[in-house]
Amino acid sequence: MSYTKDIMAQPIPGITDTSTNTLKTDFSDKCDAFRAALFPNPPTAPDVDLSEYIADPSWDWPKLSSIELKNACTTKLKGKTPGPDLITQDIITQAYNTIPDVFYRVYSILLNTRYHPKP
């Protein structure tokens, strides 16, 4: 029977904002205080200066194998959401299955020359 009785609603008491040490009584002010306390801004890192960076030429990258490319192009991914280019894994798989030799030539050239296209 207790669940059929009216329940008296209790308003949320005022909240002290620790950053300003003030009492917040308005709903939107309370929300802002909770948001500031529970989700603080992430720390910022200083910018990295790569203007004087020189890649180590002694790194010897292995050549791309056709099996490695086939595994990368035909592996089913859990998520089917396309990236910023709107190309899904299904499209890549179908294209690879149609012209695997073109894929191998293009990716071999890109990887062997150490070129990565910018988005």
**Tens digit of pLDDT for each residue in 35-71?**
888 888 889 999 999 889 887 878 777 889 999 999 9
Asked if the model's pLDDT at residue 79 lies above 70, the reply is: no
Classify residue 118: in a domain, yes or no. no
Query: Tell me, what's the pLDDT at 1?
Result: 65
Residues 36 and 72 reside in one and the same domain: no
Alpha carbons 62 and 4: distance in angstroms, whole number: 73
Domain boundaries, position 86: 66-112
Average pLDDT over residues 2-26: 80
Helix 100-112 and helix 66-74: axis angle, to 10°?
Answer: 110
Classify residue 117: in a domain, yes or no. no
Place of tokens 């990236």: 83
Give the total number of structural domains in the chain: 2
Q: Which letter does DSSP use for residue 4 in this model?
A: G
Average pLDDT over residues 73-91: 81
Classify residue 54: in a domain, yes or no. no
If we measure between CA atoms, which residue out of 105, 119, 100, 101 comes closest to residue 63? 105
Residues 70 and 108 reside in one and the same domain: yes
The 3-state DSSP class for residue 17 equals: strand
Q: How confident is the model at residue 105 (pLDDT cuts 50, 70, 90)?
A: very high
